[in-house]
Amino acid sequence: MVLMVSEEVRDAIATGRPVVALESTIIAHGLPRPRNLQVARELEAAVRREGAVPATIAVLDGMPRVGLDKEQLERVANEGGIRKLGHRDLPLAVAAGASGATTVSATALLAALAGIRVFATGGLGGVHREWTVTQDESADLGLLARTRITVVCAGVKSILDVPATLQRLETLGVAVAGYGTDRFPGFYLSDSGHPVDWRLDTPEEVARVMRAQDALGGPESALIVANPVPEDEQLDPGTHARVLDEALRACEAAGVTGQGVTPFLLDHLVRHTDGASLEANLAAVRGNVGLAARVAAAWAAGA
């Protein structure tokens, strides 16, 4: 058995009840202790309040797990040496018996393999700034182009090249719709400054698109439901622009490249906004988790 699905999640899938996949990177790498465990429990509880089953995903001792129990969730939150795993890392982690938290790409892949159709996260990865020089693009995009899953997110991380990411998603054939908005969200911000071509306003509408995907029988690509953080909980746009500009210059001055760029920029934003960027991030994740649970319920109900 290469994939271990918890009994609760397995029973929910078998009986057609709604299930929402949750990533574990935010728990292991995105938040300080002990808040990370508190947030992990909060997000699972939010899924349950909407009548769905949470399936937090991680790899523990070389075993990909879909749905964590109390002790396993605590391990992800508190154990030292938890790696950060994209989908390319999964066979290496399994073979090495390693433990790791799953990013968007790894979570989406394992969720789809388990038969879960809806996944909630904060912000997607995408095309990095200075792409023409670095050729740096998140593995999230390619994985979502070949994985049939619905991802509820707050757009892509605002430290990225948002218009280039939207163009890349179009090229890859990944469907993108704004939820209750004609604008693409900007992760910490309600509006990235860029439009979307399609808008969905209810969980039932999202579920109908999911059914249409299956009926058409096209490529096994994802549906991205871009759900904006509420305006009253977003990071102040002026502060965001100023601090991000400072962060980009600091990153260049420090010579940070490759996989180090994103954590450097995100950490700079947290420290130089007095934690306001982290609170906006959490507000977005909470909203996405609740919406994802409602979408999963509509999907399960055959809406």
Tens of pLDDT along 229-280?
A: 999 999 999 999 999 999 989 988 998 876 677 778 888 999 999 999 999 9
Q: Is the pLDDT of residue 134 over 70?
A: no
Q: Which of the four pLDDT bands, split at 50, 70 and 90, describes residue 38?
A: very high
Beta strands in the chain (DSSP E): 4-5, 19-22, 53-60, 63-66, 83-85, 100-102, 118-120, 150-153, 175-179, 183-186, 189-195, 199-200, 223-226
pLDDT given at position 130: 67
Q: Is 182 exposed, middle or buried (0-12, 13-18, 19+ CB in 10 A)?
A: exposed
Q: What is the DSSP letter of 155?
A: B
Contact 125, 142 (CB under 8 A): no
In the chain the domains, ranked by start, together with CATH numbers, are 1-116 (3.40.1790.10), 129-303 (3.40.1790.10)
The DSSP line for 2-50 is: --EE-HHHHHHHHTT--EEEE-SHHHHTSS-TTHHHHHHHHHHHHHHHT
Q: Is 23 a catalytic residue?
A: yes
Closest CA to 192 of 127, 144, 241, 139: 241
pLDDT given at position 260: 74
Q: Which of the four pLDDT bands, split at 50, 70 and 90, describes residue 83?
A: very high
pLDDT given at position 133: 58
Catalytic residue among 23, 44, 50, 137: 23
Q: How distant is the alpha carbon of residue 35 from its chain centre?
A: 19
Least confident of 180-194, 259-273, 286-300: 259-273
Interval 101-123 mean pLDDT:
97
Q: Is 70 a catalytic residue?
A: no
Predicted TM-score (pTM) of this structure: 0.94
Give Cα separations from 249 to 66, 252, 301 (angstroms). 40, 5, 50
Identify the bridge partners of residue 5 per DSSP, sorted by sequence position: 66
Interval 125-142 mean pLDDT:
77
pLDDT given at position 131: 62
Catalytic residue among 44, 50, 137, 157: 157
